Amino acid sequence: MNRSIVRAVDWQFWISIPFLIILPFLTPYQAIATNILIVGLFATGFNILLGYTGQLSFGHASFYGLGAYTAGLLIVRLHAPLGIALLAAVVAATIAGLVIGYLSLRRSDVYFSLLTLAFSQIFYFLAFQLRSLTGGDDGLRGIPVFKPFGIDLGKPLGMYYLAFIFFIVMSYLARVILRSPLGKAMRAVKENEDRAIACGFNTQRIKLVSFVISGIYGGLAGFLYCIHLRHVPVDLFHWGMNGEVIFVCIVGGVGTFFGPIVGAIAFLLIHDYLQVIFTRWELVVGLILILFILFFNQGIVGAIENQIALYREKKAFRSQRSVVGGS
């Protein structure tokens, strides 16, 4: 059994907990730490779809925006309590995942990607046009500060630790899923869908399940965005949002566990910091993305994982004396 991948998930998860606990004290200002968690959560879900199941969605902004708008609309228009808003965001993301996923997965590869994009652009259009409902171009405003269980979300640390709880729970869930039979089935789809089918997997259904799961992560991230920034911009549905999460996953490491957080940190640092010294930060983002794709395809965390796996394999090879004919 492949101890190295499972153990990788293990050590990455346990290391991440203390690191994330102190994160707000490491970042230049505390609110950015929450942004890192939100983007990291979104990317964790996206990673399940891309890194483990091998499907590249261009429309994941749909879930981000849906989560944020659903929660936001319920809060602002219907004065819903936080719990209901959360539930609604998850339900909306699940339904959207089923519908968008079912339709988009009828095609594969780039056609699948473009279909997901089409859906997110339809949402963008709707959010833009239905001004009276969503605030249109200005976005949804007027989300109040919540104080669930006495935690003041208006204070950066309060919001952070709430987001932290979400993130840890969802990360743990991702860990459980990825080492379960479902996770292995998803991996088989990515590694060789044709053979996976021949082994007996209904890969269409597996892809759909993976899509819905990753959409739920996106919806939750959107929900957190909504209550953290207390404003839902229409840009959440824009395909640029998808580009962001792709960057995060590639730089952090597609198919790794801790990758999304590392990638989120990288992205947000560039976005917030670099912008101050060098306004053309997108240039840097683009160059880094290109560099990583050409030379560090596995991302930061992936490169580390590979080194560890290589080391273990060498050990395994060395301890086997049997020489196999002809090789």
Partner 1 sequence: MGERPGWVSLPSHEGEVIHISVHAFLLQAFIGLSLGSIYVMMASGLSLIFGLMRVVNFAHGSFYMLGAYTLVYLISLIGNFWICLIVSPILIGILGILIEVGGIRPLYGTEEFNPLLLTLGLNYVFVDIIRILFGLGGVGSSIPKELNGMVNLGFMMFPKYRFFMILVGAAVVFLIWLFINRTNIGLVVRAGTKDNEMVQMLGINVRLVWTLVFGLGIALAALSGALIAPITGTIPEMGMFMVIEAFVVVVIGGMGSFAGSIVAGVLVGEVIAITNLFYPQAGTVAIFILMAIILLTTKAGLFGEG
Partner 2 sequence: MNLLETKGLTKRFGGLTAVDRVDFQVAKGELRAIIGPNGAGKTTFFNLIAGRLPPTEGRIWFKGEDITHVPPYEIPRRGIGRSYQITNIFPKLTVFENVRVAVQAMETTFNFWRDVRSLDSINRRTTEILERLKILDQKDVRAANLPHGLQRHLEIGIALASHPELLLLDEPTAGMTKEETERMMELIDELSKGLTIVLVEHDMRFVMSVSKKITVLHEGRILAEGRPEEIRSNEEVQRIYLGKQK
Q: Which residues bind partner 2 (CB under 8 A)?
A: 1-4, 6, 176-177, 179-185, 187-188, 191-192, 194-203, 205-206, 209, 309, 312-313, 316-317, 320, 322, 324-327
Q: Which is nearer to partner 1, 84 or 309 (CB)?
A: 309
Question: Rounded CA gap, 169 and 83, in Å?
Answer: 16
Q: Which stretch of DSSP H or E encloses residue 235?
A: none
Residue 83 touches which of partner 2, partner 1, none (CB < 5 to 8 A by kind)? none
DSSP string, 40-104: HHHHHHHHIIIIIT----S-THHHHHHHHHHHHHHHHHH---HHHHHHHHHHHHHHHHHHHHHHH
DSSP 231: E
CB of 260: closest distance to partner 2 in angstroms? Answer: 19
CB of 225: closest distance to partner 1 in angstroms? Answer: 22
- Segment lying near partner 1 (by CB under 8 A), choices 40-48, 121-129, 200-208, 211-219: 121-129
The reply on whether position 117 binds partner 1 by CB under 8 A is yes
* Alpha helices, DSSP H, located in the chain: 3-26, 30-47, 61-78, 82-104, 109-129, 131-134, 156-178, 181-199, 203-229, 239-252, 259-269, 275-277, 281-295, 299-319
Question: Rounded CA gap, 163 and 177, in Å?
Answer: 21
Q: x-or-dash pattern for partner 1, window 201-240, by CB under 8 A?
A: --------------------------------------x-
Coil/strand/helix, residue 153: coil
- Segment lying near partner 1 (by CB under 8 A), choices 41-49, 124-132, 165-173, 268-276: 124-132
Question: Site for partner 1 (CB under 8 A): which residue of 282, 303, 308, 309?
Answer: 282
CB of 324: closest distance to partner 1 in angstroms? Answer: 26
DSSP string, 7-27: HHHHHHHHHHHHHHHHHHHHS
The reply on whether position 110 binds partner 1 by CB under 8 A is yes
CB of 327: closest distance to partner 2 in angstroms? Answer: 3
Question: Site for partner 1 (CB under 8 A): which residue of 17, 145, 287, 316?
Answer: 287
Q: How many CA atoms lie within 13 A of 65 on its CB side?
A: 29
CB of 293: closest distance to partner 1 in angstroms? Answer: 5
- Report how far Cα 10 is from the mean position of its chain's Cα atoms: 19
Where do contacts with partner 1 occur on this chain (CB under 8 A)? 56, 103, 106-107, 109-111, 114-115, 117-119, 121-122, 125, 128-129, 239, 243, 246, 250, 280, 282-283, 285-290, 293-294, 297
